[in-house]
Amino acid sequence: MNEFLASGTTVLLAGIVAVSFLQGIWRGASGSAAGLVAFAAGTLLTLGSLALAAWVAAYASPHVYGWLAARDWQRPLPEASFASQLIYTLATGLRDLPLTRFAVLFLLAYSPIRAALGFIGGLIVKIGALPLRLLPAGGLFGRAAGGILGAALGAARATLAAVLLYGYCALFPQGPFTGDIERSEPYRWLADRIIRPAAGHVLETRLPVLTGALREELRELWQRRYEVIDAEIPPDAAEAALAITAGLESDEEKARALYRWVGTRIAYDHAKARAWEERGEWREQTPEETFRTRKGVCIDYARLYAVMARAAGLQARVVTGLGSDGRGGFGPHAWNEVYLREPDVWVPLDATWAQAGDWFNPPDFDVTHIRDTEIRKA
């Protein structure tokens, strides 16, 4: 009994039913019946809106992709406005990330669909609920019937809450609240007899895969933020990049020259790293500051390399993830990838580690560097 009462989930589910029961007694039979009908109608309308929005998004997604892919999205020039840089990043993100594109279209479709169905459904419910006004609102019978109908409404609400909790447990089997949820007797009863037979397979298998894939896409889109944040290339850094790559013809020659320059001219800022590791203090700095002060941590190396590469006519991006600490462990790290047109390939490089060896596209780069997306898969 103590374990039963100790479960926060049990208290939550029982509380939903108890509050609805008391509301039913207060409202009487007519008010409770109307509330139960409204809840059922609202649930059906929401499910219908979700299904219809999903269909619209699935239908529109390939057409949106075709429209975006047919356009030549040239990277904006360094002097372009922030809005131009943002539009470029969002447009290419929606083009390249199918789940993100579907999610955006789904959200755009759901609100108007739900509003339209809600308006129509509301009128139908109001008309259909007129006979319910004939039920008694007061008196012993009216209050008792209201309590029964309120408890039924509470059971429906508790089942909906249990579905949400079931989804949480499926997504986070090792989550901080999962154990407490699964120890709840009412939750287990609802999960075993209603939720799992009806939708358990979808919630347990497909939902984690879908949300995991969507998180990876959003992580990739988030990584592109540096294309917007660092859209404006510092004049001094641009001038240096052009001087460093002057006379070089291939993309690889230019990329290597910039790698060597950043890796040897920028000193690692150990004080900034310690402030973050020991006290959680983080000081953001721009590529211009890194170029001017000639010091920074891994993300500062990576951001400076990216803007100097773009100034030299190369495509480069910042990558975040984990890097080997040389002692068998890994810690947060950032590096770059640069596009070489001749082999038509993106190659990795780590200017932060340049003074410790050749980290321009070495054979075992992936052994010591783990991208954020790979971490999510593990």
pLDDT tens-digit profile of 121-153? 777 766 665 565 555 556 676 677 777 877 888
Mean pLDDT of the chain: 81
- When pLDDT is averaged across residues 221-240 and rounded to a whole number, the result is 78
Q: Considering Cα of 232, then 237, then 240, then 241, what sign does the dihedral take? A: negative
Point out the least confidently predicted range of 28-32, 62-66, 311-315, 357-361: 28-32
pLDDT confidence band for 4 (50 / 70 / 90): very low
What pLDDT score was predicted for residue 378?
40
The single-letter code of the amino acid at 232 is E
Enclosing H/E stretch for 346: strand 345-349
What pLDDT score was predicted for residue 325?
79
Short-list 30, 10, 7, CA closest to 18: 10
- When pLDDT is averaged across residues 278-298 and rounded to a whole number, the result is 90
Report d(CA 267, CA 230) in Å as an integer.
21
pLDDT confidence band for 79 (50 / 70 / 90): low
Structure-block tokens of residue 296: 């920074």
What pLDDT score was predicted for residue 350?
96
Q: Is the pLDDT of residue 172 over 60?
A: yes
pLDDT confidence band for 75 (50 / 70 / 90): low
Our CA dihedral for 134, 140, 143, 144, rounded to 10 degrees, sits at -110
Angle between helix 207-223 and helix 98-128 axes, rounded to 10 deg: 120
- When pLDDT is averaged across residues 156-180 and rounded to a whole number, the result is 79
What pLDDT score was predicted for residue 361?
92
Report d(CA 126, CA 123) in Å as an integer.
5
Q: Tell which wins on pLDDT, 25 or 351.
A: 351
In words, the CATH class of domain 234-377 is alpha beta
The DSSP letter of residue 77 is: P
Tens digit of pLDDT for each residue in 322-332? 998 778 788 88
Q: Is the pLDDT of residue 82 over 70?
A: no
Point out the least confidently predicted range of 40-44, 198-202, 291-295, 347-351: 198-202
Report d(CA 84, CA 166) in Å as an integer.
43
Three-class secondary structure of residue 331 per DSSP: strand
Domain regions of the chain by residue span:
2-225, 234-377
Chain centroid to Cα 323, Å, comes to 23
Report d(CA 331, CA 183) in Å as an integer.
36
Chain centroid to Cα 162, Å, comes to 23
Q: Is the pLDDT of residue 39 over 50?
A: yes
**Whole-model pTM above 0.75?**
no
Q: Is the pLDDT of residue 375 over 50?
A: no
